[in-house]
Copies of this chain bind each other. A is one copy, B any other.
């Protein structure tokens, strides 16, 4: 809805650390120390499905997602990227980018419950990834 303000879902806010802002998306780091895990949230009021995006916004999301993938792959070259949107718990449209490693806590299944960072460790990683994404 044009003109309505973007508000981050409270559950996403609680479970993540802020990383940076792209042209379309807010970038968040999932507070889970087991996986480098970035979440892109389009700053659009009321978007739930990918099909809710205009063609222009859909293309911007894809560009920002691919940039995130390339950055994570460069930072974690031995990792396998999981990229996806579920929306079964938090309906606000958001796209996960999780770096998986063979033998990680959920391998080969999908990731689930979070195991939070120490506060300082989380802030440092969020800052480092912001530098890579914006660099």
Whether the pair A80, B88 counts as a contact (CB closer than 8 A) is yes
Give the residues from 35 to 60 in chain A that come closer than 8 angstroms, CB to CB, to chain B: 48-51, 58-59
A109's partner among B65, B88, B91, B108 (CB-CB below 8 A) is: B88
Q: Number of A interface residues, CB 8 Å?
A: 30
Whether A2 is near chain B, meaning CB under 8 Å from some CB there, is: no
Work out how many copies of this chain go into the complex: 2
Chain A residues touching B, majority SS: mixed
Whether A8 is near chain B, meaning CB under 8 Å from some CB there, is: no
Distance A84 CA – B65 CA, assembled complex (angstroms) = 12
Distance from A56 Cβ to chain B, minimum over Cβ atoms (Å): 12
- List the B residue with the shortest CB-CB distance to A88: B108
Contact with B along A85-100 (1 / 0, CB 8 A): 1111101000010001
Give the residues from 12 to 27 in chain A that come closer than 8 angstroms, CB to CB, to chain B: none
CB-CB under 8 A from A58, the residues of chain B are 62, 66
Whether the pair A84, B83 counts as a contact (CB closer than 8 A) is yes
Give residues in A with beta carbon < 8 Å to B: 48-51, 58-59, 62, 65-66, 69-70, 73, 80-89, 91, 96, 100, 107-110, 112
